[in-house]
Structure 1
Amino acid sequence: MDTRSALIEATAELLAHSPGGDVSTRAISEAAGVQQPVLYRLFGDKNGLLRATVDHVWDQYLGSKRAAEKSEDPLQDLRAGWDSHTAFALAHPNAYKLMFSSALGPEPEAAEEAMRILREVLERLAKQGRLRVTPDVGARMVMSANTGVALALITRPALYPDLALSVMVRDAIHRAILLAPAADTATQAADAAAQDARVAAATTLLSFVDELTPRPFTPAESALLEQWLAQIAGSGRTS
């Protein structure tokens, strides 16, 4: 392994185990077995090294996408792409946050490749007549939503404790950009309307459970009712 690669690998390892997401150039140099001036000579500054490290970590993730065989259904690939993006963020939170940090200067190359791979999937959907927006617009909508959810999950876990949120937002965005096949539109529209009505009813009841007077349920019964209504309200998600 050459010196440049050793520094990137050391940075990636320290970054992955850093509670706060920060690493010092001294710690990096020591882990790589080189003097600090070498680091600056190769990368210019710490941000240059971090940018190279982010590209390295993301390249490993994108490598699996490059190697993945396309399924017959691009929608399946679109869903899988979203889920793998969220899973990567949860597995590499510090590198993920750095990917979208303006402090690193120029956008890492991996960001452009991730967008290109996503756009290719949407172009396949467009050729099948299933996209209601252009692939470029769709890619920006999907990427911004996926990024937002992933950052929320890793930076504010107390506010966003339910990992299923990613799937719910995924399906909402996909409904916004996709058209149902013509033959299925009427049936799917009716099913969706019925499902929306059930979810709306459960959500409405859930908001009033604590306000019912006189209280018709024991605390245990109220807790159970709230659990059931919450399950119905969340049943609009699909896998």
Structure 2
Amino acid sequence: MSDLGVDTGLEAGVSRDEVRGRIIAAAAELLAEGGRDAATTRAVAAAAAVQAPTIYRLFGDMRGLLDAVAEQVLAAYIAEKSAREPHPDPVQDLRDGWDMHVAFGLAHPALFEIISSAPHARRRSPAADAGIDVLKRRVRNIARAGRLRVSEARAVGLLQAAGTGTVLTLLAEPDDRRDPGLSATAREAVLAHITAEVPVIEKAGPAAAAIALRAVLQEATVLTANERLLLEEWLDRLADTIPT
């Protein structure tokens, strides 16, 4: 019998990917049913019909396994979010994206806390990068419409901070004690700060022009990559000078 067969307690010939998938599925189910405390090494190993050392062999440690579970669930969510038909109003499209983000977090409390905890301590996952790209595209569409009042970088940062903070605040309260209007209030406060009802380009000044130019800068093929990066930095600094 192969080493994999010995470690897993499964029949010989079971592939590494199948064992890995079985462990991830077991951990995901335990997290959904009982939260992070339920997904212990012993519980996951028993549910996946493997021996505990197999988890460490395939994932390094329990943190590695939890990250793998979060990556799989997050990737499925981002794929669904990316495939959604965008609203013709880019601000409403961003509003809808916020609501989806909050709904996902409340539906997957244990996983959301894993995704949100100590992001600086580990490499950001491909699924998380894909999610940020979706957010950046939505912000870019608002800028293209001339309705972004701050730089794209600042808008994305504010949305990430406020969206994640909103979910974590709601998750910290029992279901029956959560403020039902908290998410909408936070969402509208951020949107009021970063967007305008009418195109800001109609206002005179370098900041409004910088936002408009930054939104279409990728189309400027005459610039080298280094020139584009430098101009992006200058435009972002100018964009954030619009009075709020």
TM over 0.5: yes
Q: Distance in 1 between matches of 2:51 and 2:118?
A: 28
SS at match of 2:128: helix
CA distance in 1 between partners of 2:91 and 2:180 (Å):
21
Alignment counterpart, residue 174 of structure 1, candidates 165, 188, 191 = 191
2:61 maps to 1:40: no
Work out the CA distance in 1 between the residues paired with 2:162 and 2:152.
Answer: 15
- Kindly state the Cα deviation for residue 71 of structure 1 after the two structures are TM-superposed: 2.4
* 1:90 corresponds to 2:106: yes
Given the two structures, how large is their TM-score scaled by the length of structure 2? 0.70
Question: Equivalences for 1:1-239 in 2 at 5 Å?
Answer: 2-19=18-35, 21-102=37-118, 105-157=122-174, 161-182=178-199
SS at match of 1:15: helix
Please give the secondary structure, in 2, of the residue aligned with 1:106. Answer: coil
**Gap change, CA 1:182 and 1:69, over 3 Å in 2:** closer
Structure 1, unpaired ranges of 5+: 186-239
**Partners of 2:66 and 2:33 in 1: how far apart?**
15
Give the aligned residue type for 1:5: G
**1:99 is aligned with what amino acid?**
I
The separation in 1 between residues aligned to 2:58 and 2:116, in whole angstroms, is 23
Is the contact between residue 118 and residue 139 of structure 1 (CA under 8 Å) also seen in structure 2?
yes
Question: How far apart are the structure 2 equivalents of 1:30 and 1:158?
Answer: 31
Across the aligned residues of Structure 1 and Structure 2, the Cα RMSD in angstroms comes to: 2.3
3-state SS, counterpart of residue 167 of structure 1: helix
Matched length: 184
For the structure 1 residues 158 and 13, does the alpha-carbon distance in structure 2 shift closer, same or farther, using more than 3 Å as the test?
A: closer
**Distance between the aligned counterparts of 1:16 and 1:158, measured in 2?**
16
4+ aligned runs moved over 4 Å, structure 1: 19-22
Shift of 1:112: 2.1
> Greater shift after overlay, 146-155 or 69-78?
69-78
Question: Matched residues in 2 for 1:136 and 1:116: separation?
Answer: 12
Runs (5+) with no aligned partner, structure 2 = 1-16, 203-244
Task: Using the TM superposition, name which of 32-41 and 141-150 deviates more.
Answer: 32-41
Contact residue 54 and residue 99 of structure 1 kept, 8 A: yes
Q: Distance in 2 between matches of 1:32 and 1:157?
A: 31
Q: Aligned equivalents of 2:79 and 2:37: distance in 1?
A: 24
What is the distance in 2 between the residues matched to 1:74 and 1:60?
23
CA 1:160–1:117: 2 relative to 1, 3 Å? farther
CA distance in 1, matches of 2:63, 2:32: 16
